[in-house]
Structure 1
Amino acid sequence: MVTAMILAGGVGSRVGAECPKQFIEVFGKPILAYTIEIYQKNSQVEAIEIVCHEDWIDYLKKMIKKYDLSKVRWITQGGKTFQESVINGMKYLKDKLNMDDIVMIHYGAAPFSSQHIIQDGIEKCRKYGMSVSCTPCFQLMGSNDGNGKSKQWIDRDKQVQICCPQSFRYGYLVDIYERAENNGLLTKIEPHTTSLMYALGDTVYQSYGNQTNIKITTKEDIKLFEGYVLLKKREKTESLGNIKLK
């Protein structure tokens, strides 16, 4: 069984909006709804869990009904941090999943992911027990030494950009957090499950990613997503036009 755990517990203060960024509307539709639809449309994903900001759970329920997001089986309350939200979501699934089931952790404000990205995440996770969508660093990179200065060149070919989904065999996800807690890492390592893996000495296995696969962090990212939605609509219209011509 493949379950998507979509994190919608954050505030997203860097966007500067009146509501959490995952609930900002783009063309009249919340960003979170676009994100959920990625998994709603995937034939291998059987269930979706939303880890939601407590003040927005009622709104979320109405949104799920409005957009017929039928794979959403569970809603649980988010935490104050990424780690707390993942732990809440993981514990809520305890009596609902088997240890060999796959859990795909995804940001609610990361609506750019494609079906290719989701599929490869599932395949790599089945092979290695976990996977993370990674993208090569295409831009030149340098150190950030403070006061607007950079003194060291960084080899971009030795770096990857990590995004979502972050996919795990459920039993392995539980094991990561148990070991992290036993080693006193939960209050020290932020903000990702993969950060805990690095601290524990585990290997992170890469799945497909591309430069489009970002999470919305700033106002500019929202503008990018507006363009992305328009592009997808145009592609769909052109595709339907070609079918009619045939």
Structure 2
Amino acid sequence: MANIGIVIPAAGQGKRMRAGCNKQFLVLMGQPILAHTIRVFEESNFVSEIVIVGAEGDISVIKELVYHQGFQKVAAVCKGGVLRQDSVRAGVRALSPAIQRIVVHDGARPLLTLQAFNQFLEETQEYPAAIMGVSIKDTVKRVNLAGNVLETLPREDLRSVQTPQVFDRGILEVAHYQAVSAGYYGTDDASLLEWMGYPVQMVEGMQENIKVTTPEDLWLAERILAMRES
């Protein structure tokens, strides 16, 4: 299960954070959010390479972060595209040919633990495509544009999808190629395979593995890390 490559899309500017900069550089418990995210993969014995994909104006900042944190597995920091899907595709191309199993993980999802990540890899090693998700606690209703409730969706059939997501390289590359050819954009990499009609396995994630998108998320992430340290 070794020789796994990690692609971390970190090119989003995070307008909902209202921070005036890339949210992944915001400080969380004394370290940039992106540093927390990278460290899990740096410490995993299953990971051989890490590629970070950033906005053009952030490349030098990311390289400096990698240098000062002493991350040894970061093989490349490359320029992202207009949308997340474009950035992931660039990151996959930047991995060495020896990497045949790829994990995609959001740069702004810094609370994944090493134990949870390694367990995820073990549980999904037989699947060509697998994702992490958690059960939904709230009742979910489908509404129209006017806000009228159309139906209540069965909660037991729904999951809130997270990263990491893991794929055999060949399958992921084909999915991205076909999506580009058709002009199709999905909300995550798994949705590209679903669009192709390819099966994707869901495994249980962790509720704490939140994506830091708003100031409230940053506050919650700080509380979670503080609890772990105590």
TM-score by length of 2: 0.92
Partner AA of 1:166 in structure 2: Q
Q: How many Å separate the matches in 2 of 1:87 and 1:69?
A: 23
Q: Which moved more, 1:11-20 or 1:63-72?
A: 63-72
Q: Which residue of 1 aligns with 2:106?
A: 107
1:151-177: CA deviation from partner (whole Å, max 9, x where unpaired): 421101111111100111112211212
**Is 1:46 matched up with 2:45?**
no
Structure 2 partner of 1:241: none
Are 1:120 and 1:207, in contact at CA under 8 Å, matched by a contact in 2? no
Cα drift, residue 215 of structure 1: 0.9
Q: Do residues 55 (structure 1) and 57 (structure 2) align?
A: yes
Contact 1:125 1:168 in 2 (8 A): no
8 Å contact kept, 2:131–2:163: yes
- 8 Å Cα contact 2:208/2:224 also seen in 1: no
Residues 130 and 121 from structure 1, CA distance in 2 versus in 1: closer, same or farther, beyond 3 angstroms? farther
Q: Which moved more, 1:52-61 or 1:189-198?
A: 189-198
Distance in 1, matches of 2:145 and 2:139, equals 18
Alignment-mate amino acid for residue 221 of structure 1: D
The residue that corresponds to 1:204 in the other structure is 200
Matched position secondary structure for 1:143: strand
Partner of 1:132: 131
Render the CA deviation track for 1:131-156: whole Å, top value 9, x for unaligned.
11111112211113344443421101
* Aligned residue type for 2:97: L
Change (3 A) 1:114 1:105: same
**Alignment correspondent of 2:190:** 194
Task: Give the aligned partner of residue 25 of structure 1.
Answer: 27
Larger gyration radius, structure 1 or structure 2: 1
Within 5 Å, give how 1:144-159 maps onto structure 2: 144-159=143-158
Give the equivalent residue in structure 1 for 2:97.
97
- Aligned alpha-carbon RMSD (Å): 1.7
Size of the aligned set, in residue pairs, is: 228
The equivalent residue for 1:240 is: none
Q: Which residue of 2 aligns with 1:239?
A: none
AA matched with 2:129: M
Query: Normalization by structure 1: what TM-score?
Result: 0.86
Q: Deviations over 1:24-64 (max 9, x none)?
A: 11233210001001111212112211111111111111111
Bigger mean CA deviation after superposition, 201-210 or 218-227: 201-210
Deviation beyond 4 Å, 4+ runs, structure 1: none
For residues 161 and 115 of structure 2, the distance between their equivalents in structure 1, rounded to whole angstroms, comes to: 16
CA deviation after TM superposition for structure 1 residue 222, in Å: 0.5
Shift of 1:125: 3.8
How much has 1:10 moved relative to structure 2? 0.8
Q: Are 2:115 and 1:116 aligned?
A: yes
**Most deviating of 52-61 and 172-181:** 172-181
Distance in 1 between residues matched to 2:130 and 2:37, nearest whole Å: 19
